[in-house]
Structure 1
Amino acid sequence: MVHQDTYWSQLSASMVDKVVGQEFQLLEVLGHGAYGCLFLGQSLVDSSYVAVKVLTKSGLDHQQQKLQQLEIDIQTSLKHPNLLALHRSIQDDDYIYMVMELCDQGDLFDYVIRDQDENFVREEHVVKKFFSQILDGVERMHANGVYHRDLKLENILLKCENDDDEDDLTCKVADFGLATRERYSMEFGCGSTSYLAPEHFDDDKQTELVPYDAAASDSWSLGVLLLALMFGRNPWQEASSADAAFTEFKRSPSMLKEQLFPELSSATYRLLASILAVDGADRPSISDIKERFLSIDRLYVDEDDDFYVSEIKKESPVSIPTVSTKYADITSFDSAFFSGGTGSSWSDMVEEDEEEAALSKSIDFSSNHKQPQACFTQYDDEDTDMFVHSGEKESWWL
């Protein structure tokens, strides 16, 4: 991993000013990781700016090449204002160049971090606008038989579409490295730990593996994402019996409002309780979530709400630290370059702080756990922010 990262660090500098496809010039290195790098590019035709992700073809076996091409095919096939556009894919003997639209306003994680300094919760109109756009994008994906499998704040990019109004931001669902066209999957642990649905964890002690519903898994992730967007923290670190908050939620779902997020309106709580159904078969589709979300008058409580905040017991069954610093994601792998135990994603294109990265450790799949086809890494659960990362990073897309 370190050797590959050094390789890209050295190579990326030498690629500045290179022209690819006789149309795009690489202007500046925006980030690099173990499996590729990201550049600011410019069209030689109309001078527009783009993001160019450069991936190596060297050292990949046939299956890895197929998975790499799958991401390109999926992103090329998806056209929607709330999905990150892939303009072109250019290849030479050694590299693939993915020319994508440039999102210049950061990602939703960074937005929440900045806003958290001033506001305890996000303003209602902001949440409604952003989450509706995210639902629109994911709804289009599902309608086209594509399932993201790594929905989280960090994978929602922000773009200013109106030069006259810097606050007029549009959400773009990004990073399709884990996306699949298979509705039912055996790739357990595919995604980021704190956003994974319960079916990715071995809590039912079944001896026989059964596929999980990738659409229902996306719905769960969006429920966690909505809470993270509203409050700047996740409800639990993982949806398994190893997590005290989730265990209490599983026993009594009302604790989501009564103890964790008393500011939720009753209507918002009811929607979230259905999205976060432990059984994936009970979760609403993205279209149903969208319909119910748009019908909610108030996301937060007021004095007339039947669960007004002053009547809520403030004690929580677990410590709920708030988010502070953004860290490099260590809880996901990329299907295009996954090799057992790496727990890394080439699409993150980051420079990790090695000391922080050392906090990552592999899950011990003991006799109590089903061994999935693909493993994910896990963090220590003591003194850990509810946004779980390790190692400060720059976003791969900029």
Structure 2
Amino acid sequence: MEQLSPRPSTATLEKGVPDIRLKNDADLSKIYVYGTKLGQGGFGAVYEATHIETQTKWAIKEVCKPAPGSSKVKMVENEINCLSQINHAHVIHLEAVYTTNKRICLVSELCKGGDLRQLLDKKKFFTEDETRKIIFCLADAVAYLHKRDIVHRDLKLENILLKNSLDEDDGTFDIKVADFGLSVKTGGVGINNIRTDACGTLIYMAPEMMSGRGYSHWCDVWSIGVIMFMLLCGEPPFVCKTKNKLLDKIMNKQVEFTQPIWAKVSDAAKYLLTCLLKAEPADRMSVQQLLENPWITGDTSVLCVQTSVLEMMCDYLEHEESN
């Protein structure tokens, strides 16, 4: 990165991400030339920008500095802390962080293809092969996060970006999981690491998170199931206006495939969805089981019966007793 005069204060986050403090907002314009505004959210705006020295293009998220102690502070810190620990092909790459008295600027890789929500609105639905490519990449990223005890907690179509436009990527769907503001790093599995605070977007939210009884990384698997369902038919599997009504519907009704488009989808894909969208997290397929499922590898003829966590525990206890 180009150094300014006077020299800015520079620290290094995990993964070698520079954390650079500038005297004022104008100093950033000496490093990057701002281009098109890519989006506007509750925290600030995202711009395309070109690094002057290298002429490489990046995305810059500008966040007005929240008041100390506010929830926005925690979310910005979450995003920076998590992305500083991550190096995965399908997770957005954080290049640098710049801080002034008024703003925090996150420089990340530029994704020119928009997000999956925008693309789904255009396409109406994805083919099974297209969905398979996306879900494989998403599951691979989530498995990577879970191995590092990071739970995203807000997986949704809007938070999955496309590196290139559809015309440029030749249908490969190079996706990038983004927006780690609600993510949390747990201490691993176990009762002491159960979370109870509900967060995220309602139609993607796992039932155990809605109920307030406690949840863990299994909530991300539910969200993957919702995303897969929506990619295949264009609509969410469960819809209600309030959290309580939605929870009641999920707990009392299995996922159904009523839209005509499902006639063109394999039984293997539909069965997989029932495994991902189990209301009880202990009965739900794990992200690793998803990656090992025959449907992911392209075999739509096999209905691979999953083994739930409870079944695995019972098998283990029976084995121990027999010995």
TM-score > 0.5 by shorter chain: yes
- How far apart, in 1, do the equivalents of 2:258 and 2:102 lie? 56
Letter in 1 for 2:129: H
Which runs of structure 2 are paired with 1:318-397 in the superposition (5 Å)? none
CA distance 1:132–1:299, change in 2 (3 Å): farther
1:358-395 CA-to-partner distances (Å, cap 9, x unmatched) read xxxxxxxxxxxxxxxxxxxxxxxxxxxxxxxxxxxxxx
Match of 2:220 among 199, 218, 221: 218
Q: Which residue is 1:305 aligned to? A: none
**Aligned equivalents of 1:171, 1:270: Cα separation in 2:** 24
Residues in 2 aligned to 1:165 and 1:270: alpha-carbon distance in whole angstroms: 30
1:256 positional shift:
1.7
Task: Return the offset for 1:22.
Answer: 4.9
Aligned mate of 1:47, from 22, 35, 55: 55
Q: Which amino acid letter does the alignment assign opposite residue 73 of structure 2?
A: Q
Q: CA deviation at 1:40?
A: 1.6
3-state DSSP of counterpart to 2:153: coil
| Structure 1 stretch displaced more, 286-295 or 20-29 | 20-29
Look up the match of 1:32: 40
Give the C-alpha shift of residue 151 in structure 1: 0.7
CA–CA separation in structure 2 for the residues paired with 1:161 and 1:127: 16
**Is contact 1:160-1:167 (8 Å) kept?**
no
Residue matched to 1:350: none
TM-score by length of 2: 0.74
- Residue 279 of structure 2: SS of its match in structure 1? coil
CA distance in structure 1 between the partners assigned to 2:239 and 2:73 by the alignment:
33
The CA deviation at 1:282 is 1.6
1:150 aligns with 2:158: no
Q: How far apart are residue 123 of structure 1 and its match?
A: 2.0
> C-alpha displacement at 1:100, in angstroms?
0.7
Structure 1 residues 277 and 92: CA distance shift in structure 2, 3 A: same
Name the counterpart of 2:210. 201
Once residues 259 and 23 of structure 1 are traced to their aligned partners in structure 2, the CA distance between those partners, rounded to angstroms, is 51
Cα deviation, residue 33, structure 1: 4.0
Distance 2:106 2:118 in 1: 24
**Matches of 1:167 and 1:111, distance apart in 2:** 12
For the 8 Å contact 2:89–2:176, the answer to whether it is kept is: yes
Which residue of the partner structure matches residue 276 of structure 2?
Answer: 275
Q: Decide whether aligned partners of structure 1 residues 35 and 294 sit closer, same or farther in structure 2, where only a CA change above 3 A counts.
A: closer
User: Residue 160 of structure 1 contacts residue 166 of structure 1 at CA under 8 Å; is this kept in 2?
Assistant: no
Q: Which of the two has greater helix per residue?
A: 2
Is 2:153 the counterpart of 1:130?
no
Q: CA RMSD in A?
A: 3.1
Post-superposition CA distance 1:25-51 (Å, at most 9, x none): 323433334432222211112111111
Q: CA deviation at 1:75?
A: 1.0
Higher RCO (CA-CA < 8 Å; seq separation 6+): 1
Alignment of 1:242 with 2:245, yes or no, is: yes
Q: Determine the C-alpha separation between the residues in 2 that align with 1:217 and 1:256.
A: 20
Percent of pairs with identical residues: 28
The structural deviation recorded for 1:286 is 0.9
| Aligned length in residues | 270
